[in-house]
Structures are given as structure tokens and as C-alpha cells.
Structure 1
Amino acid sequence: MKAKSILKVSIRQIKAARALLGWSQDDLARTAEVSIPTIKRLEALDGLLGGRTQTAENIVLALTSAGIEFIDENGGGRGVRLRKAASEKPRK
């Protein structure tokens, strides 16, 4: 049986995602159902999002559910972007 692949995101991606959404640390904590001290502690670090697997999954799920796409390392570096809303019409 193949193990479930966990998306690896960096702390910088988490901070950038919050900025794109206009979310505070409190907003992320509430939406991800983790404590504010946990968010503060994780964001005080650098590198990949660490902590408990369930906590990391909750954080990533909260952000992706709000419209964030995490971009893997692809030669240009890790990143984030907002998904285009389904109702958004292309600009002419």
C-alpha cells in the first residue's frame, strides 16, 4: 500500500498565503482549528512547515479551501497564488 503524500510547503509560503487572503495569524488559527500560539511558533521558524502532521494538514487545508494554490519547487522556487474564481470572467 502506498503512503499518502503530504504536500511540503514552507513557512514563507504560509505567510505569503495569509497575506494574499488578508488573513491574520488569528484568522488562520481559527480556520485551521489550531491554537494561535501554535501558528505563532510555526511562523517564527524558517524552512518547511513542521509540527504535527495533523496540524500541518489542517493549516494547508484551511488555506487551500480559501483559494490558495501552493506552487512546488519547479526551477523558479516555491510560491503561492490565488485560484481564479469560477465566476471570474477573463479580461479583454
Structure 2
Amino acid sequence: MIPTGSQIRSGRELLGMSQDDLAIAANVGLALVIRAEMAAHLPQITRKDSTAIQGVLEAGGVEFVQRDGGVGVQMRKADQP
């Protein structure tokens, strides 16, 4: 699942990261993170950049969810790997 702009922003905020923190951790440019978060739906970024951002957020415990026709984020439960 490719995260939406709002999922990227929400996931980053759950982890208490700044946009700059996320850009550095994902090895992408700050402008790319800003552009991705501003996207109303799927950001217009490469699959590689999307995967890098998603990987950083998931490594921090963020789960990307899709249910009841909507999308969101939540923190992984402590007993899950």
C-alpha cells in the first residue's frame, strides 16, 4: 500500500518527527517530504522515495491502515513485531 500525503504527515507526527527529521532518515530531500505531505491523495513521488519514507515510519512503529473505505495510521501494538 502506498501511503497518502495525510498518512505520511500523521505518521511523522505520531513519531514526533519534523519534516526535516523524516527527510534525513529517509535520505530524501526536505522539499520532497513537504510535497508528499501536501498531496490530497497519493503523492507524486517515485516508488523508491515512497518506500523509503514508509520504511522509516514503519520502523518507528507506525502502521498504515485501510478500512471502511478510509485510510489512516496507528501505532503498532507493543506485542507485535
- Mapped contact 2:4–2:42 kept (Cα < 8 A): yes
Q: Identity, % of aligned pairs?
A: 37
Q: Which has the larger radius of gyration?
A: 1
**Aligned pair partner of 1:36 in 27, 30, 33:** 30
TM norm structure 2: 0.87
The residue correspondences of 1:66-81 to structure 2 (distance < 5 A) are: 66-72=60-66, 74-75=67-68, 77-81=70-74
Q: Which has the higher helix share?
A: 2
Structure ranking higher on relative contact order (CA contacts 8 Å, 6+ apart): 2
Question: Corresponding residue for 1:90?
Answer: none
Deviation sequence 1:1-45 (CA, Å, 0-9, x none): xxxxxx222101111111111111011101111011111122222
- CA distance in 2 between counterparts of 1:37 and 1:22 reads 19
Structure 1: 5+ residue stretches without partners: 1-6, 87-92
Q: CA RMSD in A?
A: 1.3
In the alignment of these two chains, the number of paired residues is 79
Q: Which has the higher strand share?
A: 2
Q: Runs (4+) of structure 1 moved beyond 4 Å? A: none
Is 1:85 the counterpart of 2:78 in the alignment? Answer: yes
The residue correspondences of 1:39-58 to structure 2 (distance < 5 A) are: 39-58=33-52
TM norm structure 1: 0.77
